[in-house]
Structure 1
């Protein structure tokens, strides 16, 4: 369900994570009081007392203007995902009626168009900007907003574009891998080999695995890479055989039909999979995991129960099933609207946004960090006869030391 985004619209759409949400929807209410994080509190640039007319789709009539930058007219799945984020945010505007005015602006997925939209949003008095979706656009927009003292919460999963004031409310792949490996280590699984795709996602998985296993006293016994063609997969299978013999578990984070292809070919190549545990990622949600080799496999992902509640509401309203990532659009708008309802535009500052207690939303528990990244509470699932079952529930609060 969760994929590395790194500016790639196709992966993002295939991928599939406050208190502040409306209580009538069965989601916990309440905003934790912000604490002191030891960093200077940055106040946003004041917005005009009287807001000028805005360009774009206007949703809601609250006194605090919020801009949302989305690639609505981008080709392919990017435009579909953008529409879903818009729809999810509109649900939150309804739930917080009278709190904010949402102005949705189209970026077409083009950095120059995104920067134009960001400058327009600032000039129109937007108190905060939500979006864009993709990392290249986030970098471009931050270059417009950051010098002007305007906060933004974007949806990219490329942590390299985050910093204070340029927040990401997204599913960061490294954190998901870390949660999976921490759970495995707690169960005594120490020696791991990894089979990862070429490219940014595979590099991130390897780096995270090395860091996590080093911290927990484990060992990454080796890494094998592949591209999406038969000869590359066959070579990866052959290269994996000696590493699997030395490992307790096989980290295979890719989704779709990739896990099933590797399990079948590894077995045909003579790999001894008995007693070896597969480890995945959130991309396994919806993947083909019926092979007996995946019985007992673990992977981290968001709380599917809450996402199911969001999907039900969304489908009732719009007549179609949402991609899970679209819940981030609801949660982010709800966070901002809740703060604005209680404190106006001035409440949209670093101290409030970085509340250490975090927020509970449809995509689960999360908090925005002072470096712009986010932390999320992920559940761990175990595969039994092709079905995922929770073995380590997602946390309901950020305990000390989490």
Structure 2
């Protein structure tokens, strides 16, 4: 045998051995494209919040792909399958079924409690993990679905935080409550009312409007006659802003307590000067107080040319939680991801993310804000 043949055979043998060693060492040797579903209202009055949510998820996907994701020895490329549910429960279920048919590996969404809850049954039936970045109604994770998770605190924490603030800091004795009859607004208002009564506050009225309303003068006139010390509004800023504005136009000086649906930097665009009458809560830490918040803000602003609004850091961490579950499972199969989710212990922008047996955060945070000259200002934040 010639020397060149011997060297060629040795090179082939070493090449085969090298490939086997590389495979056994877990080096990525094949490409796989995996879809992550993301759902938020991209049309309608809450579309700016929905776009912020999408941006957070997109930033995470792009970063993960740039760093390189290896799952079970395969190089995985994530693709964000973004859908618009318009904040409508019926459209949410249609979108959910579409994502199941698209064979997504997991879901980040939905944004609203009123869309997250009806969609959750479809994901549960399909065995696909759903991580909501913003749905705060406790009912979402109380249905017994093993697929339901969230990376945000709940109204069972948010409502009481508002009620406690009213009693301890504002020193009020009476309160009027209004909600927009959605799963989010009504759920938050109900949790507030339970704690308010437990705190010894008198609830003089509890009225319902809807999430498309524009004229609140009839309800406000009724409330004005009852002379409550404070008003609690459960709903989003699209209605809550005009509600506060019309209250001031009627000469009402009461503070308006609200949840994260109203707690946005640009509330003054909807409420005008009446934004200064609002005290609101956010089911999470202030971005500047999040362990990795400042870095996230810089990356977000560089990528999208605008400031984070509200939900983007939560959607961002939700994607990373799913990616970490894939790595622990060594698989991108939905059932394997689902099996790995309870062991989540992820340190991200939000801080430490761990889930209890229902899929809620083990450690939740509520932040309280006021407005000064239309600018959001942190009052306090409370961890459970």
Normalising by structure 2, we get a TM-score of: 0.65
Residues 222 and 91 from structure 1, CA distance in 2 versus in 1: closer, same or farther, beyond 3 angstroms? same
Alignment RMSD (CA, Å): 4.1
Question: Pick from 56, 65, 68: which aligns with 1:97?
Answer: 68
Q: Which residue of 2 aligns with 1:47?
A: none
Note closer, same or farther for the CA distance 1:324–1:242 as it changes in structure 2 (3 Å cut).
Answer: same
Gaps of 5+ in 2: 1-22, 86-90
Count of matched residue pairs: 318
Single out whichever of 189-198 and 337-346 deviates more from structure 2.
Answer: 337-346
- Alignment match, 1:380: 368
Indicate the structure (1 or 2) with the bigger Cα radius of gyration. 2
- Secondary structure (helix, strand or coil) at the match of 1:284 reads coil
Task: Provide closer, same or farther for how the CA distance between residues 154 and 385 of structure 1 changes in structure 2, counting only shifts above 3 A.
Answer: closer
- Match of 2:216, SS state, is helix
Instruction: Name the counterpart of 1:287.
Output: 267
Q: 1:325 aligns with which of 287, 311, 316?
A: 311
CA contact (8 A) 1:88 1:327 kept: no
Answer yes or no: is 1:84 the counterpart of 2:58: no
Deviations 1:77-111 (A, max 9, x none): 49856752541231451586334533444566564
Deviation at 1:207, TM superposition (A): 1.3
Residue 237 of structure 1, CA deviation:
1.6
Residue 334, structure 1, aligned to residue 320, structure 2: yes
Q: Give the corresponding residue for 2:5.
A: none
Q: Partner residue of 2:120? A: 138
Give how far 1:377 is off.
Answer: 0.9
TM-superposed deviation, 1:343: 6.9
Offset at 1:339? 5.2
1:209 to 192, 210, 217: 192
Q: C-alpha offsets along residues 41-61 of structure 1, whole Å, 9 cap, x if unaligned?
A: xxxxxxxxx9xxxxxxxxx99
Q: Contact between 1:85 and 1:330, CA under 8 Å: does it hold in 2?
A: yes
Correspondence 1:249 to 2:230 = yes
Distance in 2, Cα, partners of 1:198 & 1:219: 22
* Distance in 2 separating the partners of 1:118 and 1:320: 32
SS of the residue corresponding to residue 267 of structure 2 reads: coil
Is the aligned partner of 1:164 residue 2:146? yes
**Greater relative contact order (CA < 8 Å, ≥ 6 in sequence):** 1
**Do the aligned partners of 1:294 and 1:386 also contact (CA within 8 Å) in 2?**
yes
Q: Distance in 2 between matches of 1:107 and 1:224?
A: 33
Equivalent of 1:349, from 340, 343, 347?
340
1: CA distance, partners of 2:216 / 2:29: 54
SS at 2:220 equivalent: helix
Q: Please list every run of 5 or more consecutive structure 1 residues that lacks an aligned counterpart in the other structure.
A: 1-49, 51-59, 396-401
Q: Would the alpha carbon gap of residues 367 and 342 (structure 1) be closer, same or farther in structure 2, given more than 3 Å must change?
A: closer
Offset from partner CA, 1:25-82 (integer Å, 9 cap, x none): xxxxxxxxxxxxxxxxxxxxxxxxx9xxxxxxxxx99999864113599867498567
Judging changes above 3 Å, is the alpha-carbon distance between structure 1 residues 376 and 72 closer, same or farther for their aligned structure 2 residues? Answer: closer
Structure 1 contact 63–99 (Cα < 8 Å) conserved: no
The equivalent position to 1:69 in structure 2, one of 37, 54, 60, is 37
Deviates more, 1:70-79 or 1:304-313: 70-79
1:1-400 equivalence runs, <5 A: 67-71=35-39, 77=47, 80=51, 83-94=54-65, 97-100=68-71, 101=76, 102-105=78-81, 111=93, 114-115=96-97, 117-118=99-100, 121=103, 126=105, 129-133=106-110, 134-135=115-116, 136-145=118-127, 151-155=129-133, 157=135, 159-162=138-141, 163-170=145-152, 172-173=154-155, 175-187=157-169, 188-227=171-210, 228-229=212-213, 232-243=215-226, 245=227, 247-256=228-237, 261-263=242-244, 265-269=246-250, 271=252, 273=253, 276-282=254-260, 283-285=262-264, 286-288=266-268, 291=273, 294=276, 297-301=278-282, 302=284, 303-305=286-288, 306=290, 309-319=295-305, 321-338=307-324, 341=327, 344-345=330-331, 349-353=340-344, 361-363=348-350, 367-374=354-361, 376-395=364-383
Q: Once the 2 structures are TM-superposed, how far is the Cα of residue 291 of structure 1 from its aligned partner?
A: 3.2
CA distance in 2, matches of 1:293, 1:73: 24
Contact 2:39 2:108 in 1 (8 A): no
Cα separation, partners in 2 of 1:265 and 1:335, compared to 1, 3 Å? closer
Task: Decide which structure has greater helix share.
Answer: 2
